[in-house]
Amino acid sequence: MTDTTKYAEWSRESLIERLLFLEKQRNEAAVTNDIPAVETDQTNDPAIDTDVGINVDIDAGVDVDADGKNAQKSRKQSKRERQFDFGKFSERKVALKFSYFGWPYHGLARQGNALGSEEKREIESQFPTVEGEIFKALAKCKLITGESECDYSRCGRTDRGVSGFGQVIALYVRSTGKYVSEEEAAEIERNAIAEIVREERNGNRPVALPPNERELPYVNMLNKSLPPEIRILAWAPVKSDFSARFSCKSRFYRYFFSGDGLDIDAMRDAARRYVGTRDFRNFCRLDPAKQITNFERTVIDIAINPVPPKVSFVGNGQCPESKWWQLELRGTAFLWHQVRCMVAILFLVGQGLEAPNIVDQMLDVQGVGGKPEYEMAADTPLVLADCVFDRADVDWIYVRNPGQDAANMATLDRDILRQWSHLNTQAIIAGALLQNLRNTVIPVPESLKSVEGMGVLEDQEDRWANCRARYAQSEKQRVNHVVVGGGAIKVLRNYVPILDRK
């Protein structure tokens, strides 16, 4: 119970004034259905005698002392809890270009409205997606009113584990653009002071858009709220009818792999057969729920090139496992898992398990009775490297003030370099362990002393690296595994050619 003796010395007028003050505070807080601790301002409240430091115990449970510290804290809390009024701001449509490492996430696309309910938020927490993290950042920065109200579109949907260097989304976000009257809009347009837009999103009211350097710093705002694996690289103002999916002219993929044990020339021969507009139904994952009837897609160009030595972060090494290659593939659009299926067939050709013309045979959908069963290539080495748009539709802004503000790019460089350093440290440690193992001297097994094509080994002991080479040579005649990329293999007893499978 409240100790009423604390109010014993208060006059009737002071008590009434105090009650009216508290009632006003509660009524204002009730507007947002969130009643905070009662705000008490000792400098303006005549009910408190600041000279004697009276403590007032009210129903809200706040002790107010003479120095007003708790009152100041309560005011700050009230400001933090105040609802953000989106109605005061205009919106504009923008495209965002971003990168992400795919391995920590369950794909790019969120499952429904990721933030729409407690259940959805729990699912997103257990199975995080790249889009889910982006929407959480957008909401935290007060850039959108909701996921379903922002006219959202994505360029390409990537699977779990797949990364992106140049993924693109488009949506409406809060802007610093100012609402103006029709008279002001006419004056602004007449003098070419700013661009005036009238969109349904803004109630068709005229909005004076700011210069790009005066717009909200979308890149910096979002990167401060995103996990380090996801980085916004650039933004661009776009027209209201722009779609990240349908406005895209081409998509560029890369698939990284070790060339150890693979015939690169045979793979190149097979890869060239993909070029053109073809029916790729035997090179994708069929989803009956989507009821796709058109499987024709256009591959613009394809190549298998070594990872350039000038890219010191990956580069070429001396041992076969350290020589890395990249499949570079450009097309207008792709089916579900199409790239990974195409790469899987190239790996079979590279291992000599299939001839290069297997591609021609599988592209002949009339000659193949249904899609053959085979293992898709691994997800981790695949990257959506770029999404290409007409310059007239999208003109990317990487820095707010060209020639002056390099902080954005410097921050991006530093963030990505830190992640590379962390991952490269793990790779170096694993490489050092492998080197130690291969330098280990062991007794030479009898089965390896005489290997066809490698002569007879007289030494009783040798480094495992030398023994391993002889072992690999002896195993060439009986392949017992299939390369699927990313360091993964599928062990087989006997390989059955694809077109012989049921």
Cβ-Cβ contacts under 8 Å for 374 (sequence gap 6 or more): 341, 344, 345, 348, 498, 501
Measured between alpha carbons, how far is 447 from 474 in angstroms, rounded to an integer?
Answer: 9
CA pair distance 408, 89, nearest whole angstrom: 25
User: Which of the following is catalytic: 59, 159, 301, 364?
Assistant: 159
Active site residue 59: no
CA distance 463 to 469: 10
The number of beta carbons lying within 10 Å of the beta carbon of residue 122 is 10
Question: E-assigned strands of 15-156?
Answer: 56-57, 63-64, 91-100, 153-154
CB of 384 closer than 8 Å to CB of 253: yes
Bridge partners (DSSP) listed for residue 253: 329, 384
- As a whole number of angstroms, the distance between CA 196 and CA 188 comes to 8
CA nearest to 131, candidates 103, 151, 112: 112
Torsion sign over Cα 110, 111, 114, 119: negative
d(CA 501, CA 368): 11
Total Cβ atoms within 10 A of residue 154: 21
Distance between CA 331 and CA 328 in Å, rounded? Answer: 10
How far from the centroid of its chain's Cα atoms is residue 404's Cα?
28
CB of 460 within 8 A of CB of 434? no
**Contacts of residue 21, Cβ cutoff 8 Å, sequence gap at least 6:** 45, 47
Would you please indicate which residues are annotated as catalytic (active-site) residues?
159
